[in-house]
Structure 1
Amino acid sequence: MVVEPKDFARSVAAPARDTAAPRLSPQIGTTVPRGFRPDIEGLRAVAVLAVVLFHAGIPGFRGGFVGVDVFFVISGFLISGMLWREVGTSGKVSLRRFWGARARRLLPASALVGVVTIAASAFILSPLQVKTVAVDAITSALYVSNYWFIFSGVNYFGKDSLTTPTPFQHYWSLGVEEQFYLVWPVLIIATAWFIRRVRRRGGRDASTPAPGPYVTVLALVAVVSFALSLVLTYIMPPAAYLSLPTRAWQLATGGLVALTVVHWQRLGRVPATVIGWAGLGTLLLACVWVKGSSDYPGVLALLPTLGTALVIGAGCANAEGGCGRLLGLAPMRSIGRISYSWYLWHWPVLVLIPALLGHPVGLVMRLAAMAFSAVLAVLTWKFVENPLRFSARFRGSPRHSLVLGAAVTAAAVAAGAITLVGTPAPVGPGPAARPLVIGAEPTPPGLPLQEYDTAVREVFAQVNAQVTASVGMTAVPSNLSPPLTGTAAEVKSILANGCLRSLPFDGSQPECLSGNRSSETTIALIGDSHAAMWNPAFRRAVDDRNWRMLLMAKASCPIVDLPLTDHLNEMSEGLQRCAQWRAGIMARMRADPPQLVVVSAVRSYGAHGTAVWGKPGFDPFNPAWIDGLGDLVHELRSYGSKVLVLGPEPKLASVATNCLSAHLEDARACEVPWRATNNAGIEAESSMVRGNGGDYANTVDLFCSGDRCPPVVGNTMVFYDASHLTKEYSQALGPAVGALIDRSLAHD
């Protein structure tokens, strides 16, 4: 995590009792004390300890991730105060000097850790993971990894015991900070320019700035950013957690404290002491009470943010009293000094040691990893951070500092690129396996219903026999299809040329027809991404019958109309345009009813319409979902269509490609047990669907044998992530879904 140099803290700190009294700047009308703020350095120690203890899994620190929020507020306070003082004294901001100082201070240590981490990963991790980590390294070196992680769907709080998380995951916060350093001075300059222009037009003195307009700008940034954070916490949690626009309010909060420092300095000793302890208590409460499964950042982020602001604000009046006395202790300050390097080192060490040993590690080993990373931090601080930070050559030349930053960044990017290109693609060591092949012809119309039931049983038995033969597979087949590096093609396939709608603010649905468009028989497949993943299977079945097919799907939108009783969820639903999208689909079904409507969806929508994978205690077959599914089937049947609802598929414990790449010699590690709790939910769904005139297909036999669900069947990989079918496996199941179609159309 980024830590500001302590000389920045001098000019915003309250004076120590043994220092000269503060002087008054005639330009800005604000006290500019000379004392150093030991409490801020100690506050950094609290922040980094919270993060490290959380990542190390130390009991009692389940909310330690809020330490990053503390760093954001500290950075906002220090940087905003420094920029404001520069504007007040010179009327402008030197971007070269500012960016040069940031580059000299932060980039060398970050690049060093990045290069060492990618080198260690190349020796320790599997080839596919190394390639992924190499991309992470490149984006981290360029300080855009936070957006790369959002795009990649990284879950900061995800627990995956089968694969190693990226050792660059913590660089997301450095990305937020560096983007802040690019944007913030430009914002200050723009504000100063606007103020001067307005004052000159009004005939007023433009040479003496006042903090009021800057406070207004920061307050506006804070309000807008906080509102965006609230909304995205429920719509796109990764974006809410990892992006600058949703974290800017915390940086702006620190800035507001800096620009109102004169008011904080007027606090008496007793009020300052009370406020400081209250702030520290609030911060510590967040460290032990907030949990990763909460909706975060959201409203809960107010705890560490306001707590930190209160500690800093109180310290402006009494830095050495109250909680400042605790924070200013020598051990706390020592930890604070190495906090940046410790933050950089701790996560790669914690991630790579278990990967090196080949098994998860216990508490003692995690404590040892923390200590080892602290030693690396001390060495980095002593031999990299400080020498470059205080070098006369670089300190006196913004140009040299910028060149230094560019050079170390280029070295880190090059290390990632060389690793990406030089790492061979992972190939299974096992013998070539037979592909998944199903032999079944369409069942002619007009037969007794039991004939169609028999056809379904027989084709499902064919698939299940091959699934059973693949349970316990050790070495991954050398002819694995798709290859482990083929994820991009799989994602492209499921998007189906835009037929799977995936963007918020868009409730439209194109007319995605395929097959024989002149056919009088239409099969409609509707739902979310778990409907789109079945598209290759139904396309094959429809083509075999010379019919036409209609695909209508939108990612993360429930096809079932679930009740919305929470205002934030109503906002989320509105921004996603889910209701508008569902209404359009139903209007299309009503205007031109297909012969058969197939419904497929993930079972991860809560009672209020939000996706809640990973929420402990959530029942994916809750009553709201069951009732809504029955209503959907009833409505579709009223239009004259027959309805087939596909049951749920298993969900792997990790991304299939990552897990298989890490266990090329033993694919059994990537098998997943079929959860027996699903059976009761499937029975409830089936009863509700059939009670409303629809047909229901329990698909578990297509994926599992008994309670084991293999990641590879024959030579075909089943899922390309944790829950979406590969195009190849879906297409292979065409005869099976074809039998289901025939039975549903024959069903009265």
Structure 2
Amino acid sequence: MSTVRTGAPRPADGPSSASAAGVPGAVDPATARRVARYSGFRPEVQGLRFVAVLLVVLYHVFLGRVSGGVDVFLLISAFFLTLSFVRKLESGRPLAIGRYWLHVFKRLLPLAALTVLGTLVLVAAVYPDADVARWRAEGLASVFYVENWALALNAVDYYAADHSTASPFQHFWSLSVQGQVFLVWPLVFAAAWLLGRWRGWRPVPVLAVLFGAIFAVSLAWSVHSTAAQQAFAYFDTRARLWEFALGSLLALALPYLRPSPRVRVVLGWAGLVSMVSVGVLVDVQGAFPGWIALWPLASAAAIIVAGRSGSRLGLDRILASKPLVRLGDASYALYLVHWPLLITYLVLRDRPMAGPRSGAALILLSLVLAVLATALVERPFQRWAWPERTKRRLAVSVAVSLALVAVPVLAWQHIEERRTAQILAAADRNNPGAAALEPGFEFRGDPEAPTLPLPEDLPKQPASLGTPCPEDVGLPEDYRRFCHESVPQEEARQTVLVVGNSHLQHWLPALRPLAEERGWRVLTYIQPGCFYASAEDQPGSASCRAWFEGAEDMLGAVDPGLVLVQSTFTDTEQEFTRPGLEDRVRELTGAGVPVVGIRDTPRFPEAPAQCAVRDGADDPGCTFGHPMVGTPDPAAPLAEELPLYSAMDLTDLICPAGQCPPVIGNVYVYWDDDHLSRVYSETTAPIFGRRLLEALATDGVTL
């Protein structure tokens, strides 16, 4: 989601508003003419700002998707920024880059900080506890203009798909990209100035070459990255630079583009129809920011080139009208407030989308708040003269805006960390987890103690794989990314290799204490979502195919004394085996390698812990069943046949008495819909260790 800022009534140096210098006292007529080419307020572009943001809002609220309007905003921002700096270059005025940076963020940050603070209040008041810590961190990332990278890194996280609630700060991704570009773009103008001083070149041709190179390189990267990892590319600044470069190139070329009035009318309306249709005809979220983003950008460029047509039929008569220009001034605020209002409403009503009436009400409320925020916050700060007198004052105003968010967020985080430390210190007594299933167990802790992991820590529960593949493992480079050392040992008595996916990974905390006690070195060869069975059994992803291809190399490089595999596989409706796994087990045991197959854990239609946080652990709707519960382990017959293969069934630790409760021993069993929480896995360690040793002893294996 996303977008940009807008602001004042005139196009400007900054992202949010509009305004800039007029033609300074020119030394000669030629200079005056060059400067004049890039001067002048363009009200129709300010109106276009509002149309772009309105498209974003309408698509977010009613269609649950993105429109391409944000890309238009990025282009407009670079367009105005370039006009401002070219005027400086052509007139010979100092670029004053340091002051520019401070000036821009002095104008942008007050309203952004206010939005972040208001959203954090809503987060604390009405959002699920499990999400609070993450949204708190994203609020901080947003005000420091790095939210796009926070989202990019999360989007490629295998476990990120388990988050069901959209971030109320997600729309800050484009503001973050813009903030980063506002830091970088002046350096491009400085390079043009230096080249002009060195070689005597005019700045506009130099800038055209520089921005053309940025456009070409970034677009090529964007196309490649979108095809390879679209979820990451969507938020990647590098994949968006070409959109800004196109806006800059448009600003440089515009004085030389002089279509006739009739052509201007056609360009304007054709551009508008094309821009509005993008979100309907294209899956923008899934296709952007690759080459397809040229569609909305070319549409917006056509409207800008059309400019003032002088015709009563021209689109500019609408875009340049006072109401749209005024709304264009408020478009930065509109973009800021609409998204947290929408997401908060969806959280409160537990809905995936707003309905027609509620959606219309949200848009109206957003417009009212945007106009008020512009009049009462953004405009006064833009007109505030005191900070503009020195760079020191500008820096102070920027620092205060950042501190308004950073100080309360960091204080909030510190308080939560202290509270968590106190709870964890008493965990052995208050949160026994799987120990509560042991015969004769008697709970002696505080019955009011919080359940662990704390709701805000639930998203952080994937078991650690340990450190990257150690140097002594002679694995080809293509496969080393799948290898980790989970339990290191300087003088290992034996090496245990864990081969599989995340459903073996979540047992690593249970295995670790036994491995440390016995002097076992534990190496893992794990890729989430893949199956140690056969090449035909792998999902379609290239990573699974590469992972499986390297499994034999890993076995050869490690020469393990024990291999742990996942013996069965589940979905929400059934448990099944994969013939390819049996072949792998026969190969390993035939080579004299002991193998233990761990039965899969049930998968549920929703996350039991999140259900328990929302409705209470005692709510019957949060206790699930599964067809595998109470049935014999399908791997048992093969274990009886093969001397070096043993089967471990731990289902009773997850679903005692035939049902699968969300909480056992005051610990959440799962953190999502199919993975054990790290805390619960750790509490199973004594039972897991006994059963593993018993399974090995059955086959006469001693490690």
With the shorter chain as reference, the TM-score category is 0.7 to 0.9
**Residues 130 and 420 of structure 1 are in contact (CA less than 8 Å); yes or no, is this contact kept in structure 2?**
no
**Residues 24 and 32 of structure 1 are in contact (CA less than 8 Å); yes or no, is this contact kept in structure 2?**
no
Equivalent residue, structure 2, for 1:253: 246
Equivalent residue, structure 2, for 1:188: 189
Q: Decide which of 112, 116, 127 is 2:118's aligned counterpart.
A: 116
Equivalent residue, structure 1, for 2:509: 536
- Residue 179 of structure 2: SS of its match in structure 1? helix
Matched, 1:728 2:679: yes
**Residues 528 and 601 of structure 1 are in contact (CA less than 8 Å); yes or no, is this contact kept in structure 2?**
no
Shift of 1:83: 1.9
Distance 1:115 1:541, change over 3 A: closer
Give the letter aligned to residue 531 of structure 1: L
Q: Decide which of 548, 552, 558 is 2:524's aligned counterpart.
A: 552
Distance 1:719 1:191, change over 3 A: farther
Give the letter aligned to residue 432 of structure 2: P
- Residue 260 of structure 1: SS of its match in structure 2? helix
**Residues 674 and 708 of structure 1 are in contact (CA less than 8 Å); yes or no, is this contact kept in structure 2?**
yes
Q: Give, in whole Å, the separation in 1 of the partners of 2:646 and 2:281.
A: 47
- Post-superposition Cα deviations, 1:313-361, rounded to whole Å, max 9, x if no partner, equal 4438889865444544555434322111111112222233455678888
* TM-score, normalisation: structure 1: 0.71
Q: Which range moves more in the overlay, 340-349 or 630-639?
A: 630-639
**Bigger RCO (CA 8 Å, 6+ sep):** 1
Q: Give, in whole Å, the separation in 1 of the partners of 2:228 and 2:641.
A: 34
Aligned length: 664
Shift of 1:525: 0.2
* TM-score, normalisation: structure 2: 0.75
- Residue 116 of structure 2: SS of its match in structure 1? helix
Q: Decide which of 7, 10, 21 is 1:7's aligned counterpart.
A: 10
Q: Decide which of 38, 45, 48 is 2:43's aligned counterpart.
A: 38
**Residues 215 and 256 of structure 1 are in contact (CA less than 8 Å); yes or no, is this contact kept in structure 2?**
yes
- Residue 526 of structure 1: SS of its match in structure 2? strand
- Residue 286 of structure 2: SS of its match in structure 1? coil
- Post-superposition Cα deviations, 1:366-388, rounded to whole Å, max 9, x if no partner, equal 43233222211111111222233
Matched, 1:336 2:308: no
Shift of 1:494: 0.8
Equivalent residue, structure 1, for 2:203: 209
Q: Give, in whole Å, the separation in 1 of the partners of 2:209 and 2:479.
A: 30
Q: Give, in whole Å, the separation in 2 of the partners of 1:229 and 1:691.
A: 54
Matched, 1:365 2:358: yes
Q: Give, in whole Å, the separation in 2 of the partners of 1:335 and 1:601.
A: 62
Q: Give, in whole Å, the separation in 1 of the partners of 2:302 and 2:361.
A: 34
- Post-superposition Cα deviations, 1:687-721, rounded to whole Å, max 9, x if no partner, equal 99999998887876654579975432222222345
Shift of 1:40: 1.9
Q: Decide which of 453, 464, 484 is 1:494's aligned counterpart.
A: 464
Shift of 1:532: 3.0
Q: Decide which of 587, 594, 599 is 2:560's aligned counterpart.
A: 594
Q: Decide which of 614, 617, 631 is 1:663's aligned counterpart.
A: 614
Equivalent residue, structure 1, for 2:20: none
Q: Which range moves more in the overlay, 692-701 or 274-283?
A: 692-701
Which 5+ residue runs of structure 2 have no aligned equivalent? 15-27, 472-476
Shift of 1:82: 2.0
Q: Give, in whole Å, the separation in 1 of the partners of 2:608 and 2:154.
A: 12
Shift of 1:291: 4.0
- Residue 465 of structure 2: SS of its match in structure 1? helix
Matched, 1:524 2:517: no
**Residues 264 and 306 of structure 2 are in contact (CA less than 8 Å); yes or no, is this contact kept in structure 1?**
yes
Q: Give, in whole Å, the separation in 1 of the partners of 2:269 and 2:675.
A: 50
**Residues 66 and 287 of structure 1 are in contact (CA less than 8 Å); yes or no, is this contact kept in structure 2?**
yes
Q: Residues 76-115 of structure 1 correspond to what in structure 2 (within 5 A)?
A: 76-90=78-92, 92-115=94-117
Distance 1:356 1:322, change over 3 A: same
Q: Give, in whole Å, the separation in 2 of the partners of 1:96 and 1:746.
A: 73
**Residues 465 and 484 of structure 2 are in contact (CA less than 8 Å); yes or no, is this contact kept in structure 1?**
no
Matched, 1:647 2:623: no
Which 5+ residue runs of structure 1 have no aligned equivalent? 12-22, 200-204, 440-461, 467-474, 605-617
Equivalent residue, structure 1, for 2:474: none
Equivalent residue, structure 2, for 1:64: 66
Distance 1:219 1:88, change over 3 A: same
Q: Give, in whole Å, the separation in 1 of the partners of 2:312 and 2:100.
A: 29
**Residues 338 and 362 of structure 2 are in contact (CA less than 8 Å); yes or no, is this contact kept in structure 1?**
yes
**Residues 69 and 304 of structure 1 are in contact (CA less than 8 Å); yes or no, is this contact kept in structure 2?**
yes
- Post-superposition Cα deviations, 1:363-418, rounded to whole Å, max 9, x if no partner, equal 23343233222211111111222233234555676654443333222223223334
**Residues 28 and 89 of structure 1 are in contact (CA less than 8 Å); yes or no, is this contact kept in structure 2?**
no
**Residues 39 and 319 of structure 1 are in contact (CA less than 8 Å); yes or no, is this contact kept in structure 2?**
no
- Residue 552 of structure 1: SS of its match in structure 2? strand
**Residues 530 and 538 of structure 2 are in contact (CA less than 8 Å); yes or no, is this contact kept in structure 1?**
no
**Residues 140 and 405 of structure 2 are in contact (CA less than 8 Å); yes or no, is this contact kept in structure 1?**
yes
Shift of 1:74: 1.4
Distance 1:639 1:410, change over 3 A: same
Q: Decide which of 279, 284, 295 is 2:276's aligned counterpart.
A: 284
Equivalent residue, structure 1, for 2:58: 53
Q: Which range moves more in the overlay, 47-56 or 324-333?
A: 324-333
Equivalent residue, structure 1, for 2:669: 718
Distance 1:120 1:316, change over 3 A: same
Give the letter aligned to residue 464 of structure 2: I
Q: Give, in whole Å, the separation in 2 of the partners of 1:124 and 1:628.
A: 48
Give the letter aligned to residue 82 of structure 2: S
Q: Give, in whole Å, the separation in 1 of the partners of 2:455 and 2:195.
A: 54
Q: Give, in whole Å, the separation in 1 of the partners of 2:568 and 2:335.
A: 37
- Post-superposition Cα deviations, 1:78-132, rounded to whole Å, max 9, x if no partner, equal 2123223322322652214422441343222112222333334434446665444
Distance 1:41 1:217, change over 3 A: same
Identical-pair percentage: 26
Distance 1:632 1:584, change over 3 A: same
Q: Give, in whole Å, the separation in 1 of the partners of 2:187 and 2:447.
A: 53
- Post-superposition Cα deviations, 1:226-283, rounded to whole Å, max 9, x if no partner, equal 34434444665553222322222222221221222244x2334455444444443333
Matched, 1:351 2:343: yes
- Residue 111 of structure 1: SS of its match in structure 2? helix
Q: Give, in whole Å, the separation in 2 of the partners of 1:543 and 1:237.
A: 41
**Residues 274 and 299 of structure 2 are in contact (CA less than 8 Å); yes or no, is this contact kept in structure 1?**
yes
Q: Decide which of 445, 449, 472 is 1:478's aligned counterpart.
A: 449
Q: Give, in whole Å, the separation in 2 of the partners of 1:278 and 1:627.
A: 59
- Residue 598 of structure 1: SS of its match in structure 2? strand
**Residues 267 and 317 of structure 1 are in contact (CA less than 8 Å); yes or no, is this contact kept in structure 2?**
no
Q: Give, in whole Å, the separation in 1 of the partners of 2:385 and 2:648.
A: 74
Give the letter aligned to residue 381 of structure 1: T
Q: Give, in whole Å, the separation in 1 of the partners of 2:300 and 2:374.
A: 25
Matched, 1:308 2:300: yes
Q: Which range moves more in the overlay, 104-113 or 303-312?
A: 303-312
- Residue 416 of structure 1: SS of its match in structure 2? helix
- Residue 8 of structure 1: SS of its match in structure 2? coil
Distance 1:110 1:699, change over 3 A: same
Shift of 1:628: 7.4
RMSD of Structure 2 on Structure 1 (CA):
5.4
Distance 1:34 1:82, change over 3 A: closer
Q: Give, in whole Å, the separation in 2 of the partners of 1:253 and 1:628.
A: 52
